[in-house]
Structure 1
Amino acid sequence: MAASMREVAALAGVSMGTISNVLNRPDMVSETTRERVEAAIAQLGFVRNDAARQLRAGQSRMLAVVVLDARNPFFLDVAAGAESVADANDLLMVLVGSGESEDRENRQLRLLMEQRVQGILLSPVGENIPMLDKLDRQGTPVVLLDRGSRTPGRSSVAVDDVHGGHLATRHLMDLGHRDLVFVGGPPSIRQVRDRRAGALDAVADSASTRMSTIWAESLSIEAGAKAAGRILDMTDNPPTGAVCANDLLALGVLQEYIQRGLRVPDDLAIVGYDDIDYAAGAAVPLTSVSQPRAELGHAAAELLMEQVNNQGENTFRQLTFTPSLVVRGSTDHGWRGARA
């Protein structure tokens, strides 16, 4: 059975108030007394009941990151950037995946609200997020992550995905591809829609270029493999170039083509999005639109801590990063590690 504060106080020969001060306000206790209490804590193996303390304070020591897919290496890198800020503020960071489901996202946000987390970084599934109003009323700061805010009263950190989609498509067009396909995940996800909009903007600049769209069921390797089969079924003006909404989709397309004995980029040039670590290590190194993953998480967590530490003040900011294109073998026969 765990030792109690009362047992620590008895062993150290001090009051319960002194134990509380050592744990919460050590500067108020003399060095000699503090050392005696700390020795008693070590001898008894006492562990403070942080849950009870948080209940009294009305707030936990947790920062939550809610993302579309907690298995996606992109979001793991983003979370690592946020965790560095949590560590610096003596907070525990928890990573939660919504599975690209609005119902699951709302359920998770409700549970996090009940846990009284200090703040939430949210990469939302759709546009309608009912729990946001409730979190605002409770005073729990929420910063949108990898998604820009459309209201001045909400901080956000995002990447210019329209520009990224344009960048990827323009690259394929510059290589001579005129029959293109955009492979995207659920259209409910704004990042996917923005990347497609940028791709279509690039195509609109060329009367001889066409782009079709394949909507995948998710932003996963498995969904990408299924999309590859649908691309191969397009016998009228078959695409020679594919722009994928993320790297996992792109890797699924690439793997399926290779397994069917086809060649990349000869039979299909492929561009992904995110530039996760797996992109460079693919069977054919993947050309990808690069986002500053760790920087996104770090910047979003910094904005969140600004709100945590300055509640009641207008500290809302919207930050937008500019993506870049990393060219590799999935589009360029002469690839030598180029960056555009």
Structure 2
Amino acid sequence: MLRQTKHLMVKDKIKEWINSGEVKPGEKIYSENELVKIFGVSRHTVRQAVGDLVHEGWLYREQGAGTFCANGITQNKPNQHFPRTSGKNIGVITTYISDYIFPSIIKGIESYLTDQGYSLTFACTDNNIEKEKQCLQSMLSRNIDGLIVEPTKSSSYNPNVNYYLELEQNNIPYLMINQYYPQLVPPHIIVNDEKGGYMGTEHLIKLGHEKIIGIFKTDDLQGVHRMQGFIKAFRENNITLSPDMIITFSTEEVDTVLLEKVRKVLETSDEMPTGVFCYNDQVAISVLNLFRELELRVPEDISVVGFDDSYLAEATETKLTSLSHPKLEMGIAAAKWIVSAVEKRNQNDKHSIVFEPELIIRSSTAPVKGEVTQET
């Protein structure tokens, strides 16, 4: 028997259980291992069948608890009659949830939504496209009223666009924060990342630095836009930027090869760089640790600028110059927007919000030795 036939057989049987009442709405279905034994099929076949049923609204997943039955609904109208524990439920999908700036963003979202009587459903993608797909399937199966999303790998085409179009088809408002998918251009709340990249780089240039390393994460638009600002600062100050001074990395490389790339630039450069602009404060802290290992003094030998003005900026002995990110304010603004959209108060208001960054100068940057600078 062909695998596709087995896959459809498993789907049809589970739907039969739901329609006959053998499995009732809210009840947990058999585990993956049990379904493998019941049907005598592979684990892959079971996962494919269950995944389809989740997307189609027959089932829903609870993280850490299992897979449960939704109402018996028609395959072509997923989620239409899904029972809710609350009539006011907002989904929140972030790339990360428990570290760096994300707890502050989530705190802002949660504080406003709970005050308005809304319940929240959180999910995290770890900046992984497949995990984002699973999160979106789960949110759709819960029949949420609205969705706040931080995009996953926003600088390239996202194969999960169809789920966002499904949200639009079902009149479920959604808002993107920190960045947005260019192919959708949805309402969004972001920081002016290009301007931040420009401001941080120009700060170094005015301190007399011309040989500046730029480190950018390029699978997210934040990094792309910050790089644009970095390059623009060189052009507008009539300084030649050497191509080998730009270091790029992806999500998967941040904990593996990124610092080796930095080390290689330092070792092979004809002229020792005197400044570094970092994609964010996390990267900047890693760079500071590398410089300590290499016995490079900050800022005496090399100046460092971060981005996001996170708690990390003041967590080390050398306090980090950084660009501000309105973490709490962004969360509150996102929550206000989604509540207004759900309650139909802003049907004609599709505006987006762009926060302007502020340069926070601390002790990680200083003038190049012997230079008269333009900074006051």
TM-score with structure 2 length normalisation?
A: 0.68
Note if contact 2:89-2:119 (Cα within 8 Å) is conserved in structure 1: yes
Structure 2 residue 216 is the aligned partner of structure 1 residue 184: yes
- Of 167, 183, 189 in structure 1, the residue corresponding to residue 199 of structure 2 is 167
Provide the rounded CA distance (Å) in 2 between the counterparts of 1:140 and 1:242. Answer: 43
Equivalent residue letter for 1:170 = E
Provide the rounded CA distance (Å) in 1 between the counterparts of 2:331 and 2:363. Answer: 29
1:318/1:148 CA distance change after superposition, 3 Å: farther
Structure 2 residue 317 is the aligned partner of structure 1 residue 283: yes
Which residue of structure 1 lines up, in the alignment, with residue 130 of structure 2? 103
Q: Deviations over 1:2-24 (max 9, x none)?
A: xxxxxxxxxxxxxxxxxxxxxxx
- Of 246, 269, 285 in structure 1, the residue corresponding to residue 280 of structure 2 is 246
Which residue of structure 1 lines up, in the alignment, with residue 43 of structure 2? none
Once the two structures are TM-superposed, the CA of residue 100 in structure 1 deviates from its matched residue by: 1.8
Provide the rounded CA distance (Å) in 2 between the counterparts of 1:75 and 1:141. Answer: 22
Which residue of structure 2 lines up, in the alignment, with residue 116 of structure 1? 143
The range that moved more, 263-272 or 63-72, is 63-72
Equivalent residue letter for 2:91 = A
Which residue of structure 2 lines up, in the alignment, with residue 79 of structure 1? 106
Provide the rounded CA distance (Å) in 1 between the counterparts of 2:197 and 2:212. Answer: 13
Note if contact 2:198-2:233 (Cα within 8 Å) is conserved in structure 1: yes
Equivalent residue letter for 1:108 = C
Provide the rounded CA distance (Å) in 2 between the counterparts of 1:219 and 1:85. Answer: 34
Once the two structures are TM-superposed, the CA of residue 221 in structure 1 deviates from its matched residue by: 6.8
Structure 2 residue 171 is the aligned partner of structure 1 residue 139: yes
Provide the rounded CA distance (Å) in 2 between the counterparts of 1:219 and 1:331. Answer: 29
> Which has a greater percent of helix?
1
Equivalent residue letter for 2:267 = D
Once the two structures are TM-superposed, the CA of residue 60 in structure 1 deviates from its matched residue by: 5.5
Provide the rounded CA distance (Å) in 1 between the counterparts of 2:198 and 2:252. Answer: 19
Once the two structures are TM-superposed, the CA of residue 209 in structure 1 deviates from its matched residue by: 4.1
User: Per the alignment, in what secondary structure is the counterpart of residue 222 of structure 2?
Assistant: helix
Which residue of structure 1 lines up, in the alignment, with residue 30 of structure 2? none
User: Per the alignment, in what secondary structure is the counterpart of residue 215 of structure 1?
Assistant: strand
Which residue of structure 1 lines up, in the alignment, with residue 235 of structure 2? 204
Note if contact 1:149-1:156 (Cα within 8 Å) is conserved in structure 2: no
Once the two structures are TM-superposed, the CA of residue 180 in structure 1 deviates from its matched residue by: 1.1
Once the two structures are TM-superposed, the CA of residue 94 in structure 1 deviates from its matched residue by: 3.7
Provide the rounded CA distance (Å) in 2 between the counterparts of 1:72 and 1:293. Answer: 13
Equivalent runs, 1:225-236 vs 2, <5 Å? 225-236=259-270
CA RMSD of aligned residues (A): 2.9
Equivalent residue letter for 1:169 = T
User: Per the alignment, in what secondary structure is the counterpart of residue 306 of structure 2?
Assistant: strand
Equivalent residue letter for 1:204 = R
User: Per the alignment, in what secondary structure is the counterpart of residue 322 of structure 2?
Assistant: strand
Equivalent residue letter for 1:264 = V
User: Per the alignment, in what secondary structure is the counterpart of residue 251 of structure 2?
Assistant: coil
User: Per the alignment, in what secondary structure is the counterpart of residue 253 of structure 1?
Assistant: helix
Which residue of structure 2 lines up, in the alignment, with residue 263 of structure 1? 297
Which residue of structure 2 lines up, in the alignment, with residue 216 of structure 1? 249
Q: Deviations over 1:235-272 (max 9, x none)?
A: 22332211111111111111111133221122321111
Provide the rounded CA distance (Å) in 1 between the counterparts of 2:338 and 2:357. Answer: 23
Equivalent residue letter for 1:329 = S
Structure 1 unaligned runs (5+)? 1-50, 334-338
Note if contact 2:191-2:354 (Cα within 8 Å) is conserved in structure 1: yes
Note if contact 1:247-1:272 (Cα within 8 Å) is conserved in structure 2: yes
Which residue of structure 2 lines up, in the alignment, with residue 92 of structure 1? 119
Equivalent residue letter for 1:190 = L
Which residue of structure 2 lines up, in the alignment, with residue 3 of structure 1? none
The range that moved more, 257-266 or 88-97, is 88-97
Once the two structures are TM-superposed, the CA of residue 136 in structure 1 deviates from its matched residue by: 1.3
Which residue of structure 2 lines up, in the alignment, with residue 30 of structure 1? none
- Of 134, 152, 156 in structure 1, the residue corresponding to residue 188 of structure 2 is 156
Provide the rounded CA distance (Å) in 1 between the counterparts of 2:324 and 2:104. Answer: 13
TM-score with structure 1 length normalisation?
A: 0.75
Equivalent residue letter for 2:246 = T
Note if contact 1:145-1:157 (Cα within 8 Å) is conserved in structure 2: yes
Note if contact 2:105-2:330 (Cα within 8 Å) is conserved in structure 1: yes
Provide the rounded CA distance (Å) in 2 between the counterparts of 1:297 and 1:116. Answer: 22
- Of 300, 307, 319 in structure 1, the residue corresponding to residue 334 of structure 2 is 300
Once the two structures are TM-superposed, the CA of residue 156 in structure 1 deviates from its matched residue by: 1.2
Provide the rounded CA distance (Å) in 1 between the counterparts of 2:104 and 2:306. Answer: 17
